Amino acid sequence: MSRILVVEDEAAIAELVSLNLRHAGHDVALAASAEQAQAEVDAMLPDLIVLDWMLPGQSGLALARRWRESQRTRELPIIMLTARTQEADKIAGLDAGADDYLVKPFSTQELLARIRALLRRRAPETLGATVTIDALSVDPSIRRVTAQGRELRLGPTEFRLLHYLMTHAERVHSRKHLLDRVWGDHVFIEERTVDVHVKRLRDALAPAQRESMIETVRGVGYRFVRRRHDVTA
């Protein structure tokens, strides 16, 4: 469950979006102006913000810019909503610091899909508790990987990849599936990219002799397997 702040002054849209987000299991806060939105953010940092461009008083664009300048809110994922369809507007929205951009009228299914993608990409720490298999531990809250207490150094993509594989262990995942679940948005990413990161992940696990836990399933993809223990050992 993620905490999502919806900043939208049109009550009907705010209501529809928040209803769908609650349905998807999220905790939703609403704000109808930039001032209310700032008060919400000051009170509690959300995991993601859906921000309408056109607000009474200060615009969503100015608000996004302000949040990007502040240390506390710099990393906040923001999806902008707008009635503007000009390419220049889209660029202005992204330049102001929005991570994604949706033109009204939009389908709530598409908004939910974009939110899922952004949450996966930007906030692995919302993915939950520490996972441990055969003394290999992944703690998403502090992005730490340890093997028998010894810390291993992983890049952010390798970290997300390992966390996904461990939380879905023993199952075979195709490259396409991994791109969808680990990368989130993969329109411009080739499947070969997965192989590159799997190799890096194995290299990172090698000092702890855990590299063989990432198994290649020929012609299909990859899976995380428990180590085969010798019963006499």
Nearer to Ca ion, 9 or 139 (CB): 9
DSSP labels, 16-83 = HHHHHHHHTT-EEEEESSHHHHHHHHHH---SEEEEES--SSS-HHHHHHHHHHSTTTTT--EEEEES
Provide, rounded to whole angstroms, the least separation between the CB of residue 143 and Ca ion. 36
62 near Ca ion, rule: CB under 5 A: no
Distances (CA, A) of 181 to 60, 112, 113, 115, 157: 30, 15, 12, 13, 12
9 near Ca ion, rule: CB under 5 A: yes
- Say how many residues touch Ca ion, by CB under 5 A: 3
Provide, rounded to whole angstroms, the least separation between the CB of residue 60 and Ca ion. 8
225 near Ca ion, rule: CB under 5 A: no
Near Ca ion in 183-222, by CB under 5 A? none
What is the end-to-end Cα distance of the chain in Å, rounded?
42
Of 16, 24, 30, 54, the one binding Ca ion by CB under 5 A: 54
Nearer to Ca ion, 78 or 165 (CB): 78
Other beta carbons less than 10 A from residue 19's beta carbon = 12
40 near Ca ion, rule: CB under 5 A: no
Interacting residues with Ca ion (CB under 5 A) = 9, 52, 54
